[in-house]
Amino acid sequence: MTSPDLPAPASILHVVAAALVDADGRVLLQQRPEGKPMAGLWEFPGGKIEQGETPEAALIRELHEELGIVTQGSCLAPAAFASETLGERHLLLLLYVCRKWTGIAEPRHATALRWVRPAQMYALDMPPADLPLIGLLDALL
Ligand SMILES: Nc1nc2c([nH]c(=O)n2[C@H]2C[C@H](O)[C@@H](COP(=O)(O)OP(=O)(O)OP(=O)(O)O)O2)c(=O)[nH]1
């Protein structure tokens, strides 16, 4: 049953992302490349969940594709989510905290990488969906 108080359901874009946390409590952000929507903004590494994938498998795949690092499901702790209208679609972003991986992160897709403390993220240009996640991470880490 539809309610007059609720808008028509949009198609949901399921995205997973990671707050990779180093030994100093800094988090890895990557800069979205030219040619992609929201180019130049700083985001958490991750991407869309593909058909038939679990969120954790999608995140393990994305971290390897985007940064060349390897992690496993037991190292991914569900931490927060974001829910944001993106044009015709609605973004549901699942954020995991990850403190253990192998390999050195390198920007295979992104323009650049940087390690920042959550409090420093307020000064960076990040996608609108990420803004509520900053305070959550600040409290969590
Ligand atoms: N990875 C990531 N995506 C985010 C964040 N915040 C945010 O709004 N998004 C949005 C941007 C995109 O609309 C969507 C992720 O899609 P994407 O195109 O970057 O993912 P993908 O790596 O699967 O890319 P592609 O294969 O389609 O090129 O989620 C974030 O912090 N990290």
What confidence tens digit (pLDDT) does each residue in 109-122 have?
A: 999 999 999 999 99
Please list, in sequence order, all residues whose beta carbon lies within 8 angstroms of the beta carbon of residue 138, skipping any fewer than 6 positions away.
Answer: 118, 119
Q: Looking at ligand 1, which residue's alpha carbon is closest to its atom 5?
A: 43
Query: What does the chain come to in residues?
Result: 141
Give distance in angstroms: CA of 15 to centre of ligand 1.
7
Residue 62: per-residue pLDDT: 98
Q: What is the pLDDT of residue 10?
A: 77
The confidence score (pLDDT) of residue 7 equals 67
pLDDT tens per residue, range 40-71: 999 999 999 999 999 999 999 999 999 999 99
Q: Provide DSSP, 70-119.
A: B--GGGEEEEEEEEEEETTEEEEEEEEEE---BS----SSSS-EEEE-HH
Q: Compute the mean pLDDT over every residue in the chain, rounded to the nearest whole number.
A: 95
Q: Are 126 and 38 in contact (CB under 8 A)?
A: no
- Model confidence pTM above 0.90: yes
3-state secondary structure of 63: helix
Which burial class, exposed, middle or buried, applies to 1 when counting CB atoms under 10 A from its CB (0-12, 13-18, 19+)? exposed
Q: Rounded to an integer, what distance in angstroms lies between the CA atom of residue 98 and that of residue 20?
A: 5
- C-alpha 72 to ligand 1 mean position (Å): 21
Q: Are 81 and 91 in contact (CB under 8 A)?
A: no
